[in-house]
Amino acid sequence: MYEHARRTFDVAEKLTLEAASLTSGDDDRIRRHEGDARQRLSDMLLGVPSVVNLNVWDAEAVPVVRSDRAIDPGVTVVDRSYFIRQSTQDRGFDLSEVLKGRQTGRELFNLTHRRPAPDGSFKGIVAVSLNPEYFREYYRAIVAQNSDVEAIGLVRTDGAFLARWPLPAQGTTHVASDSPSLDRIRQGESAGVVYGSVDGEHRVAAFRRIEELPVYVVVSFSQAALMSGWVRTMGIVGAMALPITLLLIAVTAIARRRVQLEQQAQLELHEQTRLRAASEKSVLEAHRRETLSTLTAGVAHDFNNLLAILSNSLHIQNVRHPEHAAESQNAAMRRAVQSGTRLTRQLLSLTRRQTLRPEIIDLRTWLPEMEELLRTTLGRGIALSVNVAPLVPPVLVDAAELELALVNLAVNAKHAQPHGGVFAVNADWILKDGEKLVTLCARDEGHGIPADILGRVSEPFFTTKEPGSGSGLGLNQVRGVAEAAGGQLHIESEVGQGTMVKLILPVAKVGGGDSDGAEGSVGTDVASGVDDSKLVSVVAPAHKFNGHVLVAEDNDDVAAVTIALMASLGLKVTRAVNSDDALRVLRTPQLGDDIGFLLTDAVMPGAMGGVELAMTMRAERPGLPVTVITGYAENVQAALDAKLDVVHKPLALDDLIARLKVAFPAA
């Protein structure tokens, strides 16, 4: 009985949500196109015998559209209890009592759902009118086939009958107030079995609640009928001779085995169907994520090329006009390049394709510098508190990723506290199993996370926000930051009390020991040797080199500014537009021997990519300095595994000069 009711209400809930989505626009516009809207609602109800009709009402209880006929503006449900309950409080899915429809004249009860306006205010309700007779007919058939079953009912939590068979006595609309099952229902039990007596007859009743709905399925049995069947069967068996008894046992065993086999087959079919659906969903989700990853990585690569053009062009201007290097416009362009570089890293963090840049960060100085960004993210309605314990040791973590993680937590806190609240960030240290660890806690006082989904909130694409309000990647990114740094993420939450997200990070090692009390922080890019503060030099370098460089770059603009920058340092430059061209130059006698340094992009057209080109030349000319420059991490994993020199776009001038000094030591 429960499965039947659950499936019926599931269909009704889906119809309610689809109707709410269909009528989410302006009510006057919907009324002007009432015929089209009514036809769509009517089409939704095809093949759904449990539903009488589907109605949409505005905030004044005036009909907007219904599925079975044109609306009558004079009909209102402003006095109906189900409308009043939803208008005063969002009750999710709610059920009315059994009533007579004012336009259909039919007996029905309504499953209602609130229509929220864009600002969250009450916009009206959607009501799916269910037919009590649909349930009664089903219950009638069950009772007719099972003599032990005395009655089946669909009962609201207040004891009101929605459907029952046999029909209750004339004028009876509620379960008897002294009913044992009603007493257990009022206590909030979701399922159970009770024993009691009605007019001196012993009965057994089983009840179970339909999840998230204020309604129970109740089935009652006559204890005497159960016992009489047992006694009758035992009397027949006792009167039979032994051969007949054995025959009955054999027949029963065969029948039981057949039923078990059929049930097992049904269970296996259901499980196979579930596994297939889960597999298809997993494949689709993986394909979607891979598509997003590929698209994001491609955008980041092109964006990094643009940043390289801007960065190298600024290098050239500083070399040619050192007197202008310290001007405010140059500083603004440097900051723009740095911001763009951080932006590409934040984009790539969604797909885990970014080249991680672990830095030794002193939270005592770094965290207070985040206050302005966090205040901007939170807005005026939420108070921000940032506290760092005096002796917190530094941590080794990607600064841009940690910054993005705090921003994600601030965005979550803002969503959880729409009417204002508190967002507190605290850094401290603890001892666990003799090891010193740093804790970075972010706490809000929002609506909290239910315990049944708390373990899933950091899964990719899982979100508790309304559709369109979140991607479900925020806490997944936070977990990624903690795990990439060798730590872990811990989340505590209580509904109505708020949420606390704690990153537990290992202490950074400096000089072989803990860096307790270290002043300041180090911003060096461990993965690529790039310091964000050195992306564009403030003053022009005094270095001049004498040598020949091969630049393998397919992008004309990037190649042009890179060649100009090399030339400003006194170098002779040859460009290759693809890997085939680069191999031709390097293998040409005299010309190839004159090349003293190879700078190649990781993504290159031709028979091989930039990474394969670098590995080929290392095998052919082990003494030739080679540097691979890349915009994202995936295409250089082989280079990192092969211990090649890999740097991230845009290449800092100081890092370029350092590599040129190695390539041309006699400069």
Domains defined along the chain, listed by start: 2-130 (3.30.450.20), 134-239 (3.30.450.20), 298-354+527-667 (3.40.50.2300), 358-514 (3.30.565.10)
**More confidently predicted of 201 and 418:** 418
Q: Give, in order, the Cα–Cα distances in Å from 10 to each of 211, 213, 391, 511.
A: 10, 11, 56, 63
Query: Does residue 528 carry a pLDDT above 50?
Result: no
Query: How high does pLDDT run on average in the chain?
Result: 83
Query: Does residue 529 carry a pLDDT above 70?
Result: no
CA-based torsion, 484, 487, 492, 497: positive or negative: negative
Identify the pLDDT of residue 656: 85
Query: Does residue 336 carry a pLDDT above 50?
Result: yes
Mean pLDDT of all residues in 66-81: 91
**Which range has the worst mean pLDDT, 59-63, 129-133, 415-419, 469-473?**
469-473
Q: Other C-beta atoms within 10 Å of 163: how many?
A: 24
Residue among 663, 660, 613 nearest 636 (CA):
613
Mean pLDDT of all residues in 111-119: 89
Query: Does residue 355 carry a pLDDT above 60?
Result: no
Query: pLDDT-based confidence at 472, cuts 50/70/90?
Result: low
Identify the pLDDT of residue 637: 65
Mean pLDDT of all residues in 227-239: 75
- Given a contact cutoff of 8 angstroms between Cβ atoms, the answer to whether 25 and 115 are in contact is no
Identify the pLDDT of residue 255: 93
Query: pLDDT-based confidence at 467, cuts 50/70/90?
Result: low
Residue 615 CA neighbour count, 13 Å, CB half:
14
Identify the pLDDT of residue 581: 92
In residues, how long is the chain?
667
Beta pairing class for 572-576 and 548-552 = parallel
Vertex 389: Cα angle to 349 and 484 (nearest 5): 20
Query: pLDDT-based confidence at 11, cuts 50/70/90?
Result: very high
Identify the pLDDT of residue 256: 93
- Given a contact cutoff of 8 angstroms between Cβ atoms, the answer to whether 15 and 48 are in contact is yes
Mean pLDDT of all residues in 563-587: 90
**Residue-wise pLDDT tens digits, 267-295:** 999 999 999 988 888 888 777 767 766 77
Identify the pLDDT of residue 290: 74
Phi, psi angles (nearest 5°) of residue 531: -100, 125
- Given a contact cutoff of 8 angstroms between Cβ atoms, the answer to whether 579 and 614 are in contact is no
Identify the pLDDT of residue 399: 85
Identify the pLDDT of residue 444: 93
**Which of 76-80, 323-327, 536-540 holds the top average pLDDT?**
76-80
CA distance 108 to 127: 11
Q: Give, in order, the Cα–Cα distances in Å from 488 to each of 220, 291, 436, 531.
A: 52, 28, 14, 27
Type of residue found at 451: A
Identify the pLDDT of residue 469: 54
Phi, psi angles (nearest 5°) of residue 202: -75, 135
The partner residues of 601 in beta bridges, in order of sequence, read: 629
Query: pLDDT-based confidence at 334, cuts 50/70/90?
Result: low
Query: pLDDT-based confidence at 559, cuts 50/70/90?
Result: confident
Query: Does residue 612 carry a pLDDT above 60?
Result: yes
Mean pLDDT of all residues in 219-242: 77
Mean pLDDT of all residues in 320-345: 68
Q: At what angle do helices 328-349 and 242-320 cross, to 10 degrees?
A: 170
Mean pLDDT of all residues in 394-410: 87
Identify the pLDDT of residue 326: 67
**Which range has the worst mean pLDDT, 89-103, 293-307, 461-475, 537-551?**
461-475
- Given a contact cutoff of 8 angstroms between Cβ atoms, the answer to whether 552 and 607 are in contact is no
The partner residues of 506 in beta bridges, in order of sequence, read: 437
Query: pLDDT-based confidence at 536, cuts 50/70/90?
Result: very low
Query: pLDDT-based confidence at 388, cuts 50/70/90?
Result: very high
**More confidently predicted of 513 and 269:** 269
Residue 86 CA neighbour count, 13 Å, CB half:
29
